[in-house]
Amino acid sequence: MYPYCPRLWSSPSSDTEVATCYRRASWAREHARHTDDPVLRQGLIAMERRWLLRVHGDEFLGRPPEIPG
């Protein structure tokens, strides 16, 4: 599993960080597809969702993104 990331709930600030979020979400999705343990599968699906929320949080929550003023 991936180690704790202290900036997990902050928005990614660079293309590299966005790519890392997508890569980790993909990792979780692939592992969920190949496990027979339903509890582990649900945990991996939740992990994928958290990584995607980090990139697309406002879209997934149904809120318009904040516009800097």
Statement: residue 5 has pLDDT above 70 = no
With CA atoms as reference, report the closest residue to 44 among 18, 20, 52, 56. Answer: 52
pLDDT tens figures, 8-49:
555 666 788 888 999 999 999 999 999 999 999 999 999 999
Residue position matching structure tokens 């149904």: 62
pLDDT of residue 14: 75
Statement: residue 61 has pLDDT above 90 = no
Residue 45 token pair: 């699906």
Q: How do the domains of the chain map onto residue ranges?
A: 15-59
Q: pLDDT-derived band of residue 4, with 50, 70 and 90 as boundaries?
A: very low
Burial 41-69 (b: 16+ CB within 10 A, else e): eebbeebbebbbbbbeeeeeeeeeeeeee
Residue position matching structure tokens 């809120």: 63
Who wins on pLDDT, 59 or 69? 59
